[in-house]
Structures are given as structure tokens and as C-alpha cells.
Structure 1
Amino acid sequence: MKAIVQPKYGSTDVLQLKELETPTVKDDEVLVRIHAASMNYGNLALLKGKPLLARLWSGLVKPKYPIPGGDIAGRVEAVGAHITQFQLGDEVFGDLSSDGWGGFAEYVAAPEHSLVRKPVTVSFEEAAAVPMAAVTALQALRDKGDIQAGQDVLIYGASGGVGTFAVQLAKSFGATVTAVCSTRHVDLVQSLGADVVIDYKKEEFTRQTEQYDLILGVNGYQPLSVYKRALKKNGTYVMVGGGGKQIAEAMMLGPWMSLFSQKKLKHVLQKPNQKDLLVLKDLLQAGEIRSVIDCTFSFSEVPNAFAYFEQGHATGKVVITI
């Protein structure tokens, strides 16, 4: 099979397209012929080996997992002896990030707990765009934010991979959603269901007087004090992303700023699991959420996909067709 291999940490120059042996399945694995994969922040972190803390589990000196790629969608080509959930020909999608990665390849042997069946109404590309971004949004809203119907929710950075899913998921929970994005994304974010859209290029969020039950900080940067002021009494802010400074402040200062306040400042680290993938599969099938795809790259263009994704301007997801 063909696969993208990363022998060391560095820039896109270290990525190599190689011929490797097609993996054989263990008793608890399925062999998936991959049709599409997608880019996520974790792909960049593993490519560069930064932040250095990531190397504690990805390999201190060189990558422990030589084939990058977590989000995949494809077709089952073989099943292990103990597999009960899938059979030959099933169309599936899932997240390999807790099971050795390996998504930027023509085939992968994956444990069945990392996969779910793909709705027939959703393309491989659309399905591959879902797992990490949508699970992150779901866990931020539901598990960290305790979102409830009727709440006022703000999504700061609503046009990226996580943000586009967060807007749709918040609406599915029955919330009133205010989304912050740039001018060129206003129409898209409105089409995803946002009740109010703030164009940060025309209107500064820091001057807003409205308060919210729940705020998700997905992209961009605002001081934690700004988010805290924008929360209602007993409100919650959840940091999803936004760069190193935002992440460091949320993880280090958030607990202290929450200690003697009814307003809570939290952060979320996505935890891959099949249960949440099944929730998203049902929402996809019902048409309550959809993938927003910025662009697609061919398999041989994976280094270009990394370079484009690193610019940080993608609308929704960047997808690779394999």
C-alpha cells in the first residue's frame, strides 16, 4: 500500500510517500480501505513535535507512530475473528488518534471501538471531516459546558472545524447561539443556524454588553477576564483552542479565577470514544449537523495540505482524498 511516512519531527519536508506492506488484522481489528481523511491540530503537533509536552506520548526523539492521520472514512475489507460490529463491505468512519494513528494511508488495521458505520447519505469526505472536530465540540458543550435548552451560548471562532460543528450542536441542544467570525464567514455561519453573528472585523466583542450562560473559545484570542465578564452568574467558559497563549492561560489561570467565583473557566481535551461517534452518526443521519469542507487535497498533496492547514484560515475542514 501507499502511505505518508514521517520518520522524524520537523516541517512538511520530512513527509514521504512510501510503499509499505498492507497491514494484517488481529482478532480484534478490522482492515479499512481508506477513501478520505482530514486534518486536525493534532496532525500539526505531531509533525513538529511541538508543544514539547506532546512528545511524552508521541515519542521523545522521533515519532512513535510513523504514519500520521487520525480522522478517516472508508470501507471494511477484512475482519478479525473476534469482530462483532462490522462485516465486509461496511462503510465506516472514525478516529485513530488513540490507537496508533495511521490514517494517511491506503489501508489501516483499526480496533472496532474506534469506528462506526457511515450514514449512506454522507460521502466519505464528509464523514472523514467529522470525528475529532465534532467530538471536541460535543464534549465541550455537553460535558464541560453542561449545555441546556434555552441557554444563551457564544461560540468565539465559529468558522473553523470545531466551530462549525459547535454552532450546529448547540442549536441541536436547543440553545440560542451567538457566533463570532470574520466578514467572509458571516453567511456560512448563519446558514449553520446561528441566531446572531458578530463580525469581529466590524464590531469588537470586548464592547458587547450581552452576557451568556456558556461561552466556547474555539479560535482567536481574548483575555480570560473578557470572557469572564461576558458570562452570566453561574455561567461557564470552555477553552477549546485558540493558540498557545490562550491554552496556557485557560489551563493555568482558569482554575484560580474560578475558585472563588460562581463563574467557571474550564478547558477541554478531546477524548476519542465510540459512544460519542454514534451520537454524531445519528445527528448526521437526521440532517441536524453537516460537515463544512474548505477544500480537498489528493493523497500526493498531503504536504501541501499541512502547509495550507497551518495558515489557520480554513473554513471548516481540510480533507484528503485517498
Structure 2
Amino acid sequence: MRKPLTEVGRTTRAWGFRRYGGPDVLQEIPVPMPSAGPGQVLIEVAATSVNPADTYFRAGRFRLLIRLKLPFVPGLDVAGVVAATDSGSGRFSVGDPVFAALPGKTAGGYSRYVAVDESAVARAPSSLSLQEAAAVPLVALTALQGLRDVGGMGAGDRVLVFGAAGGVGTAAVQVAARLGAEVTAATTPDQLGFVRGLGAHEVVNRIRWRESLRGRRFDLVFDASGKLSARALRPLVRREGTAVTVNPGTGNPLIAALSRLLPGAAVRGFLVRPSGGDLVLLRGWIEDGSFRPVIQETLPIQEVARAHRVSEGGGVRGKLVLTIPSTPPATPRGA
């Protein structure tokens, strides 16, 4: 069993916020050096990414639902190498390249070191750099679990992906195609050719989607943008089909329950769960060339405020990746 890498009273580098606000509240902050507890691995993080949830946490949009302990370190994706493990399973060794999605309530990916439950971790794809691997976990797991588990998608299903050029959307088009669906994708006019190249059978103008899709019915609609209301989603789905949304408001349990009482399609939302097993599946797809991360820009973590501004400005194609510089394992607190 590898011993945890930690010392009492020592800190490591992280980037987060001490109060809610705009991107300028993000700053480098010292945090206690984590250790690998039972069933965990300690990851030395090489890269993380920006997800909309990170900006929501920072702006305080979730403060009534999730009580954060400030200062808070965002970051729901990590890719790096194993620095220590206390799991005893032998699945990982120090130095293994790995990637993982982190729980939303704790996050912590904008940090040089993070302790993660072994069940959420998988070896990184051999065909990707760690910077590229950091763009995969959260969006790919959201797409896979939303389509397969929540939507019950099967081979041959007619699937509509709305918001197909964003982080979750680019993943959803590829996952649906890989699972054998007939994929129609809705995106902005400037992204039509790009999205078609991800494996969509048909691409329509998202700006004029009501006109383009009038009278069409799909087995499954996946709203990767989270911008369609339940009222807009239901007419797009056949009577026994399902609409899945990443918007926790539209897809809340009350609306889902009410939708099941009405004739026609159900509208369901969900929370993605970290899963090393699902990442192993996705790693195989990446290595056989049937899935690839889409990255608009890679920035150093010191430019995290700018990355948040770009994310909030909308129109990001795929993901924004943040690289974290290598430092000594830990520094004395107050040094």
C-alpha cells in the first residue's frame, strides 16, 4: 500500500474564490495539502477544464441549493498522474496517467493536487495528452449517462441533439452515433459543417429550429444547452419517447413526475455521476478513434478569470482547458 503524500500544516497551490462574484474574484489561494484516504488516489493535476457549472458556483447561482464552504476551489475535470494511493486494490500505481470527473459539491480540480475516490478514476487514453484528456470526463459522462441511462437510447433510435457545438453537445453527437443512433443535430449556422463532421446524419440551424423541425418527432431529444423549456421539448418527441435536459430546473423531479401524468413524452433531467467504469468505456472509444475531445483553447490556470469570461460569453466550441504548472509537492504554510 502506498502511503499518502501529505504533511500536517502544509499547503498546495489552488485557484478559487473567497466570495461570490464575477470572474475577477478568482485568485490563487493556498489550500491544505490533501492526502489519499481509504479507497482514494491522490492525483497530481496536469490540467483541468472550464464547465458552465464552475461559473455558476463562482457567481453564487447554486447558493440556495448547495452550501459551499468558502474559500471554494471549482473544477469538475482533472487529468494528471497518480501521486499516492491508499486503496489497497492495486488498480493504480504512482506515476500512472489518469483522468476523472469530480463530485459537484466538492469539485477541487483547479488545484495542483486532489484526492479522488478510486471508483471515479480511470487510466487516461494513451492516444491523448493529459491536457486533451482533461476535456473529456464531465461532458462525456453527461452525454453517455443522459443518452444511455436516462433516455434509454438504443441502436437505430432517432435522436435530436440540441446545442450540438458546445462541450456536452459535441460529446452527445459522438456518443449517440457510436451507440448506433440516427443523429440529427441543431447548432448555430457557423458550426453546421463542424458538427456534421462529428458524426451527425443531419444538421439543422439552431436559430430557426422551430421552422426546421416542424412536424418532426424523435425517439429521444437531448438538450445539451439546457435552454429549451419542457413545453418546447415535448412536441419534438414521439408519444412514448423521452426528452432529456441538462438544465436542473427544467428537468427537476416535480416536472418529470408531472410529465409522466400527461399523455406523450416524458421530460427528464439528471445529475451526472462520476464513474471510472464509464470512463474506461469512453477511453476505449477514444483509442479506437470513434470519440475525440473538442477543445477551443488551452490556457494556463493563471488565466482562469479570462477563461470564465469566455465561457460566460457563450459560443464556445467544445471545451476550454486549463493547464496547471508543476511545482514541488507542497510548501510550508505561510512560507
SS in 2 for 1:53: coil
Aligned to 2:15: 4
Instruction: Check if 1:304 corresponds to 2:310.
Output: no
- Distance in 1 (CA, whole Å) between partners of 2:139 and 2:176 is 14
Is the Cα–Cα contact under 8 Å of residues 46 and 54 in structure 1 kept in the other structure?
no
State percent identity of aligned pairs.
34
Q: How far apart are residue 97 of structure 1 and its match?
A: 2.2
- Distance in 2 (CA, whole Å) between partners of 1:6 and 1:270 is 24
Instruction: Check if 1:159 corresponds to 2:165.
Output: yes
Q: How far apart are residue 19 of structure 1 and its match?
A: 4.6
Cα pair distance change 1:20/1:98, threshold 3 Å:
closer
Q: Which of 272, 275, 279 in structure 2 is aligned with 1:273?
A: 275
- Distance in 2 (CA, whole Å) between partners of 1:202 and 1:266 is 24
Q: How far apart are residue 254 of structure 1 and its match?
A: 4.1
- Distance in 2 (CA, whole Å) between partners of 1:148 and 1:276 is 17
Q: Which runs of 5+ in 2 are unaligned?
A: 1-11, 325-335
Is the Cα–Cα contact under 8 Å of residues 22 and 58 in structure 2 kept in the other structure?
yes
Which residue identity is paired with 1:256? L
Cα RMSD (Å): 2.1
Which residue identity is paired with 1:291? P
- Distance in 1 (CA, whole Å) between partners of 2:230 and 2:117 is 39
Which residue identity is paired with 2:28? L
Instruction: Check if 1:209 corresponds to 2:210.
Output: no
Cα pair distance change 1:206/1:53, threshold 3 Å:
farther
SS in 2 for 1:54: coil
Which residue identity is paired with 2:257? P
Q: How far apart are residue 109 of structure 1 and its match?
A: 2.7
Instruction: Check if 1:190 corresponds to 2:160.
Output: no
Q: Which moved more, 1:285-294 or 1:194-203?
A: 194-203
Aligned 1:1-322 pairs, distance under 5 A: 1-20=12-31, 22-55=33-66, 58-59=67-68, 62-63=69-70, 66-80=72-86, 82-97=88-103, 100-201=106-207, 204-205=210-211, 208-219=214-225, 221-241=227-247, 247-251=248-252, 252-322=254-324
Is the Cα–Cα contact under 8 Å of residues 98 and 272 in structure 1 kept in the other structure?
no
- Distance in 2 (CA, whole Å) between partners of 1:156 and 1:309 is 18
- Distance in 1 (CA, whole Å) between partners of 2:80 and 2:271 is 26
Higher helix share: 1
Give the alignment's TM-score, normalised by structure 2: 0.86
Is the Cα–Cα contact under 8 Å of residues 125 and 321 in structure 1 kept in the other structure?
yes
Structure 1, residues 122-141: CA drift from partner, whole Å, max 9, x if none?
A: 11122111111111111110
Q: Which moved more, 1:257-266 or 1:306-315?
A: 257-266
SS in 2 for 1:248: coil
Which residue identity is paired with 2:244? V
Cα pair distance change 1:82/1:185, threshold 3 Å:
same
Give the alignment's TM-score, normalised by structure 1: 0.89
Q: Which runs of 5+ in 1 are unaligned?
A: 242-246
Which residue identity is paired with 1:215? V
Q: How far apart are residue 305 of structure 1 and its match?
A: 1.0
Aligned to 1:244: none
Q: How far apart are residue 202 of structure 1 and its match?
A: 5.3
- Distance in 1 (CA, whole Å) between partners of 2:213 and 2:201 is 19
Is the Cα–Cα contact under 8 Å of residues 39 and 309 in structure 1 kept in the other structure?
yes
Structure 1, residues 200-259: CA drift from partner, whole Å, max 9, x if none?
A: 245545752221111011216344333222222311111123xxxxx5344244432331
Is the Cα–Cα contact under 8 Å of residues 198 and 205 in structure 1 kept in the other structure?
no
Which residue identity is paired with 2:286? L
Q: Which moved more, 1:147-156 or 1:100-109?
A: 100-109
Cα pair distance change 1:99/1:16, threshold 3 Å:
same
